Chain A
Amino acid sequence: MRSEFQYRRPASIDEAVAMKADLGTTAMYWAGGTDMVLHWMRSIHSPELCIDITRIEGLRGIEIDRDSIRIGAMTSLDELDRSADRHCLLNTLSDITKLMCTPQTRTIATVGGNLCNASPAADLSPAFVAMNADAVLAGPKGRRRVRMEEFFLGVNKTSLSGGELLEEIRIPLNPDLKVVASYRRIDRTVVDIALVNASSCISVDSDGVINGCGIALGAVAPVILRVSDAETLLLGLSVRELGRDREELQKVEELSAIAAKPISDVRASAEYRRQMVKVMVRRTLQDCAIQLKA
């Protein structure tokens, strides 16, 4: 049966984390509520306290400066969608949001909620991992930064602890490099959860040599996987090689498929998922190559 809970609406981060620290796991943050309400209705979570963080100042919005993009945790998917022309990485993120939920749900669902819900199939998570982003966590004892790939610990499990709240996501930028990213997923209908997804992020120097690379896979393990050994293979390559049939690329696909630990479930078989990891990774890299050419 569904739990009964109290509802509070703190005005500041400090107030919110104090409330949560007091009650531990029986208290839950409410961002857009789109995941949380379903979990509560199915008794996956039975909170005694619901902490509404929608009114806290400063948790919302996107800022760009020389060396990072900052996305507040309470930024709605719809806001992210509308930020496409502000940066090429935001353009990629905006494209991702268009695949997510429905237009109505996107106006209330938040970026932070998508990450904190820690679904291995979530659409934004692999992109942030590939982009080398950090999660900024605010807790009763202050702030700390966690690398995105370390933020996810398992299905619906994150490294948030002791009352901590996700405050923002920071994507690092290097003004000397050109950076692009891409995301691909296998879905069946316009509203779907990814059966498999992948994201790549490539930075190149002025000579077109790959200087940074992130490849992340979703829905093929309990957490988002980062394929570091595949990433290193691409470093130092010229971007012109990315679109071609090169041995390195095949190796990247294979290493990704090896890294994947998919399961069979009602949505797809493990075998299909492993096969699709290769296709998705190849396509994200091809997308990056096309963007870099433009």
Chain B
Amino acid sequence: MEVAKRSFDVIGKGVHVKDAREKVTGSLKYAVDMTVQNMAHGKILRCPHPHAKIARIDTRKAEELPGVLGVLTHEDVPQNDWESAWFNYRGKVLDGIGRFVGDDVAAVAAVSSDIAEKAVELIEVEYEPLPHVFDMELARRQDAPTIRVEGNERPPYAVKWGDLQKGEEEAEIIVDCDISYMSQQYAPLGRNACIAEWMSDRVTVWTSSQTPSELRDGIHEALGIPLSKIRVMALPCGSSFGQWWSNNFMLITVLLAKKIRQPAKIELTNEECMSTVKRRHLERTRGRMGCTRDGRITLAEFDHLIDNGGYGFKDDVGFFCVDMWGKAKNGNYAIHGINTNLLTAGCMRGVGDCTLGASVERVADRLAEKVGMDPVEFRILNQITAGDELRMQHSRDNMKGNRDAYIEGIPPHLRKDWPELFCLSSGGTRAILERGASAFRWKDRWKGWAVPHAVDGSLHRGVGVGTGAHVCGVEFEGSSSAVVRINPDGSAKVHCSVGRQGQGSETTQSQVAAEELGLPFEMIEIETGDTDSCPWNHGSLASSTMYRTGWATRAAANDARRQLLEIASREFFDNADIDELDITDGEVHPRAEPKSNRRYSFREVLNELRSETLGQTSSITGRPSVPMPPSTTFARQFGAQFAEVEVDIETGQVKIIDFLAVQDSGTVVNPQVLKNQVIGGAICGSGFALYEHLVFDGETGAIKNANLLDYKLLRCADFPWQAEVLFEEAPDPVGPFGARGAGESPIAATMQSASGLIFP
């Protein structure tokens, strides 16, 4: 479906992010900066064993230490399971079993964190060690130690299409793979903390989180108290990459505060942030792809394992990476999530993209090499474009749900205007590959497979290309909503609990609202953390914020706009049809006469609702009238990236010399914000491709490099300063003003562009 491009007032403008000033002056408050009156300080006791049951726990000595206010153990904790967004955690807050070194065992509250730290050491625990397993291959065996009541492995996320045998017969070349990935750490530069304060049976929680509503849900599940009694006030978390959603230490804080009947704060150390919360999965892809001599893929088969650590529960990683190569008529893939006695693994930016996606890219490149094709051309030939069928689970026979039931569930009136189901709604890689290849002068610089284009002693230089795709949220995540309120003075406030992870969604959501309302950007502010004022929202994750929350914000703004126009029509325009009115620069005027002096500001319109006798003012509240329809699952964002890399073949050191990215996120809402997403993703992706990985102790599974000295993050200076980002803007029929998502495709494309050219 083609959507005409239109011109915008606020969309597409590179306005500064709303909190830029606070950030550069250091006044933005993160959770570690927060205090509340009479607050106790908490510390968590951590399990020293990879797998152990607490046989006995004696807290008396800790409690006797002067300054200690109370100790929380599993005996105090309701034994309810709670779940973090996207199966990143499932379990009880504390259940008397440690499932990895560093797992939460108990917590102490004291008048100072020093005393709490000392008291933690005074808790006497008798552990009964249980057999443990670190290797996911071993963990899936029948005789493996059981880590979870649900079993270490559940049925896989599996998709099959076409006729595999036919695909194999048609293939003239087949390439197999068996690729293992190390685990990346989110390694946010900011630490996190949580404060909980109870008032009677109601609790308020301050913490840095990308998913305020999910955290409220988690507290509700764990404690079994009504949602109405829980208020989460999420604070900015800085670049979080998926780490700070709802994390168990937050739930511990809530229970600790309840136990001591006093507000409590738990602040994690850097080491705790890196070794006790979560990380990217360890993954392994086995599979094969086949193609004809002229480079058409006929077969794609992958069996992919991810290790969930102690409490992760995920399996649906990266299906969109296989989808991207969906022109293959026959295929089959299965993704298995397996628990181990390692630190919990969860969704890190580009989950599945940097692993399964990178495997598919790598195998595809080997095929291209064998048929003697340029990797850019091979991608253009085999990757999907708008309208092509997607190979995801719910589009196929063996899906968890049922395809027909799924379609039936969508109201026909909604289906009418929506893109075709199970097909890519817009965009694709063709345009970004062509644009990038030309801007990067790919044809001049690429000298063939494993042929460096420049050699200086031991320094060899070559160029690589990579592509990445990611969903823009999917429909079974629930219905993210937003509210837009127009104030009596004519300013407006957006309420959507997407948190603030530094990527700028507070700014881009405001741009969406400003555009829809016809109000100057400066007149809009936004609340992103308070679950009491914001409707439920999935948070900023799964690259869904612009696409799904942006849709809701636009719908809410549209509803507010409609209400405003109705009042204006009644009071100022003789009950004219509201379609005959328009808003420009915060003023209502007849649509046909944009320059007319019959213009009324928002303030004037709202003033009409004012009670003359009491002087009371009124506001308008807009909200989406229907939840976002399910066909939204079929939008993707795409990135194509080109890198020049220098390898010292004597030492193995690798440097990225030049870099170009072309991003297709649909309509660009804010070019500065999007550029930042692409470059940030590329630095994080090349870090993973080149140096970043956690080191697990062979004996205990403990993380040995939980610090930024030995966990090597790339710095800005490790990345070429002249890196360039270009945009292709294929507008989407569903996304707000044609926008899709952005956060995760950039990191996916980097894996292959930065490392695919390196041959052992």
Cβ of A266 within 8 Å of any chain B Cβ, yes or no, is yes
Given the known interface contacts A188-B653, A189-B712, A191-B715, the answer about A266 and B117 at a Cβ–Cβ threshold of 8 Å is no
Whether A186 and B715, one on each chain, are in contact in the complex, defined by CB atoms closer than 8 angstroms, is: no
Given the known interface contacts A1-B114, A1-B118, the answer about A190 and B705 at a Cβ–Cβ threshold of 8 Å is no
Q: Name the CB-closest residue of B to A282.
A: B650
Q: A268 → chain B, closest Cβ, in Å?
A: 10
Whether B650 and A190, one on each chain, are in contact in the complex, defined by CB atoms closer than 8 angstroms, is: no
Cβ of B406 within 8 Å of any chain A Cβ, yes or no, is no
- Tell me which of A190, A267, A279 contacts B715 (CB under 8 A): A190
A interface residues (Cβ-Cβ under 8 A, vs B) = 1-2, 186-193, 266-267, 272, 276, 279
Cβ of B125 within 8 Å of any chain A Cβ, yes or no, is no
Whether A186 and B704, one on each chain, are in contact in the complex, defined by CB atoms closer than 8 angstroms, is: no
- Per-residue CB proximity of B718-749 to A under 8 Å, as 1/0? 10000000000000000000000000000000
Cβ of B164 within 8 Å of any chain A Cβ, yes or no, is no
How far is B707's CA from A193's CA once the two chains are assembled, in angstroms? 13
Cβ of B714 within 8 Å of any chain A Cβ, yes or no, is yes
Whether B710 and A189, one on each chain, are in contact in the complex, defined by CB atoms closer than 8 angstroms, is: no
- Tell me which of B114, B710, B714, B718 contacts A267 (CB under 8 A): B710
How far is B653's CA from A276's CA once the two chains are assembled, in angstroms? 11
Q: Name the CB-closest residue of B to A278.
A: B650
Q: B573 → chain A, closest Cβ, in Å?
A: 61
Give the chain A neighbours of B691 by CB distance below 8 A.
188-189
Give the chain B neighbours of A1 by CB distance below 8 A.
114, 117-118
Give the chain B neighbours of A191 by CB distance below 8 A.
715
Give the chain A neighbours of B710 by CB distance below 8 A.
266-267
How far is B704's CA from A279's CA once the two chains are assembled, in angstroms? 28
Give the chain A neighbours of B695 by CB distance below 8 A.
266
With A188-B691, A272-B652 already in contact, 17 other A-B pairs whose C-beta atoms are closer than 8 Å: A1-B117, A1-B118, A187-B653, A188-B653, A188-B690, A188-B712, A189-B691, A189-B718, A190-B715, A190-B717, A191-B715, A193-B709, A266-B695, A266-B704, A266-B705, A266-B710, A279-B650
Q: B349 → chain A, closest Cβ, in Å?
A: 19
Sample of 16 A–B contacts (CB below 8 Å): A1-B118, A2-B114, A188-B653, A188-B690, A188-B691, A189-B718, A190-B717, A191-B715, A193-B709, A266-B695, A266-B704, A266-B710, A267-B710, A272-B652, A279-B650, A279-B651
How far is B712's CA from A193's CA once the two chains are assembled, in angstroms? 10
B interface residues (Cβ-Cβ under 8 A, vs A) = 114, 117-118, 650-653, 690-691, 695, 704-705, 709-710, 712-715, 717-718
Q: Name the CB-closest residue of A to B690.
A: A188
How far is B695's CA from A116's CA once the two chains are assembled, in angstroms? 30
Chain A interface SS verdict (over half): loop
Q: Name the CB-closest residue of A to B695.
A: A266
Q: B723 → chain A, closest Cβ, in Å?
A: 15
Given the known interface contacts A1-B114, A267-B710, the answer about A189 and B653 at a Cβ–Cβ threshold of 8 Å is no
- Tell me which of B117, B650, B652, B714 contacts A189 (CB under 8 A): B714
Top-5 shortest CB links A-B: A190-B717, A266-B695, A266-B705, A188-B691, A188-B712
Give the chain B neighbours of A2 by CB distance below 8 A.
114
Whether A186 and B717, one on each chain, are in contact in the complex, defined by CB atoms closer than 8 angstroms, is: no
Give the chain B neighbours of A279 by CB distance below 8 A.
650-651
Given the known interface contacts A1-B118, A266-B704, A266-B705, the answer about A186 and B651 at a Cβ–Cβ threshold of 8 Å is yes
Give the chain A neighbours of B713 by CB distance below 8 A.
189
How far is B714's CA from A90's CA once the two chains are assembled, in angstroms? 29
Q: B656 → chain A, closest Cβ, in Å?
A: 11
How far is B278's CA from A14's CA once the two chains are assembled, in angstroms? 52
Give the chain A neighbours of B715 by CB distance below 8 A.
189-191
Give the chain A neighbours of B653 by CB distance below 8 A.
186-188
Give the chain B neighbours of A188 by CB distance below 8 A.
653, 690-691, 712
Q: A40 → chain B, closest Cβ, in Å?
A: 14
Q: Name the CB-closest residue of A to B118.
A: A1
Q: B704 → chain A, closest Cβ, in Å?
A: 5
How far is B714's CA from A266's CA once the two chains are assembled, in angstroms? 17
Q: B118 → chain A, closest Cβ, in Å?
A: 6
How far is B690's CA from A28's CA once the two chains are assembled, in angstroms? 39
Give the chain A neighbours of B709 by CB distance below 8 A.
193
Q: B409 → chain A, closest Cβ, in Å?
A: 50
Q: Name the CB-closest residue of A to B458.
A: A279
How far is B116's CA from A1's CA once the two chains are assembled, in angstroms? 10
Q: B575 → chain A, closest Cβ, in Å?
A: 66
Q: Name the CB-closest residue of A to B654.
A: A188
Q: A172 → chain B, closest Cβ, in Å?
A: 32
How far is B711's CA from A188's CA once the two chains are assembled, in angstroms? 11
Q: Name the CB-closest residue of B to A279.
A: B650
How far is B704's CA from A275's CA once the two chains are assembled, in angstroms? 24
Q: A274 → chain B, closest Cβ, in Å?
A: 13
Q: B676 → chain A, closest Cβ, in Å?
A: 20
Q: B641 → chain A, closest Cβ, in Å?
A: 20
